[in-house]
Amino acid sequence: MDRRRDSKLKLVAPLVSIYERIVALYCGLKQVPLQGLRVASKSDSAAEKSPAIEAAADPINVGRLLAAIVESSDDAIVSKTLEGRIISWNGGAARLFGYSAEEAIGRPITLIIPPELHAEERQILEKIKRGERVDHFETTRVTKSGRTLPISLTVSPVRDSRGQIIGASKVARDISLQRENERLLSSEANALAKLNEWSSRLWRSGRLQDGLDEILTAVLDVLGADKGDIQLLSAEGDVFRIAASRGFQQEVLDLFRAASPDDDSICARALRSGQRIVILDTEADEYFAPHRAVARAADFRAMITTPLVDGDGRPVGTVSAHFRSVHFPTDHDLRRLDLYLRLATDYIQRSKAEQLVRQSEAALRDAARRKDEFLALLAHELRNPLAPIRYALATGKKSGRTPEQKKRAEEVIERQVAHMSHLLDDLLDVSRVTRGTISRASMVTGW
């Protein structure tokens, strides 16, 4: 019985050695203390011994325990010879690469390595032969289905009881999710940089029309659209006009150049509801059925219309993006669009306010010019009667005037004073009208 047991131990010992090193490697990768995995030994005190502990101290059971630890790992744990032939393949490797242990064991490790990376594998094996370790090396492997898989790889030499390197143990971890998160972070960073660039260009626009063209360019870029338009509500709120467009023929634009915000168009509906309307397929969407002829004439198959709403919740207009084919926008794109359109709406409102200020300033300058012209004319008209009056007074002071001359001079003075009085009355009437102290009424008069 003891001889048979000793022969089993001789067979199991190399396997235990390999598994011990694989578990050590795996624990190092997971940053788990190896002491926590210590199995019982004969040196443990009697107080600590139990039937289960004594069974665990058996080298055969140790091999089974270590094999169970390796097999239960979610990571791929593989051992190979120095020639690169697979000698163990755990359940994690089967799940990760798609090959069962029966399919993988005995085959070269290049089974899962892309042809262009075979030289990389040879370099790793050379390091292992020199007793070096490869830590957290990011590379690519191929699954049974042919899908490329990014992994983080840790490789360590496996030694026998004499310290000779007999193979290599590998722990591979799928980093697809990590790569995807990195890609999303990079994409988000690029999107924010682009958003900042668009915002800077928008606020540098000198005129409202230039800014609207910038807004439309950015919206089409965000959504990857083929054409689009911006419609703005008039100050009175009764007319809906196209303020900027891209990609449409003139005859199509003429159909919607000015519309009512109360009509049944998609833009008017979005404006009234304050909600975005997304038409994924104009030919399949029943909601869009009344407008299919227009879509066909304008050559678009999908559209996204977003209302522009100011900070007080008042509608400003809409931005529409059109696609020549069926289109499914992502939540990421729509969030970027909403963020940019908040800035765009602020710009539109500010530009309109500045435009009103400029118009008011121009009106004030025009009023000041007209006032100056009026005062100059008034001064001229008031000065004209003074010359005859001055002449009549000078004539009256002369000696030897006849009664007829005296009477004529008085008539001149009276006539010019009456003229000045009329001018002053007219001036006072104008002042009363501008101050609102006199009302005007219209009436029908007969012939």
Length of the chain counted residue by residue: 447
CA distance 269 to 261: 8
| Residue spans per domain, the chain | 2-174, 205-329, 367-435
The stretches of 37-163 forming alpha helices (DSSP H) are 51-56, 59-71, 91-97, 101-104, 118-129
Which segments in the chain show pLDDT lower than 50? 1, 4-5, 7-16, 23, 25-50, 52-53, 55-57, 447
Residue 270 near residue 305 (C-beta atoms within 8 A): yes
Would you call 395 helix, strand, or coil by DSSP? Answer: helix
CA distance 226 to 324: 7
Kind and range of the H or E run holding 13: helix 2-30
CA distance 92 to 75: 5
Residue 246 near residue 220 (C-beta atoms within 8 A): yes
Please indicate whether the domains covering 205-329 and 367-435 agree at the CATH topology level. no
Report the top-level CATH class of 2-174: alpha beta
| pTM score over 0.75 | no
Mark residue 329 as left, alpha or beta (left: phi above 0; alpha: psi -120 to 50; beta: remaining): beta
CA distance 374 to 378: 6
Other CB atoms within 10 Å distance of the CB of residue 9 = 14
- Among 3.90.1150.10, 3.30.1330.50, 3.30.450.40, 1.10.150.120, name the CATH number for the domain at 205-329: 3.30.450.40
Residue with tokens 């396997």: 15
Q: Residue 113 corresponds to which amino acid?
A: I
What is the DSSP code (8-state) at residue 110? G
pLDDT in tens, 275-322: 999 999 999 998 888 889 989 989 999 999 999 998 888 889 999 999
Going by CATH, does the domain composed of 367-435 fall within 1.10.150.120?
no
Mark residue 424 as left, alpha or beta (left: phi above 0; alpha: psi -120 to 50; beta: remaining): alpha
- CA-wise closest residue to 125 among 171, 85, 175, 75: 85
CA distance 156 to 135: 8
First CA to last CA across the chain, in angstroms?
A: 143
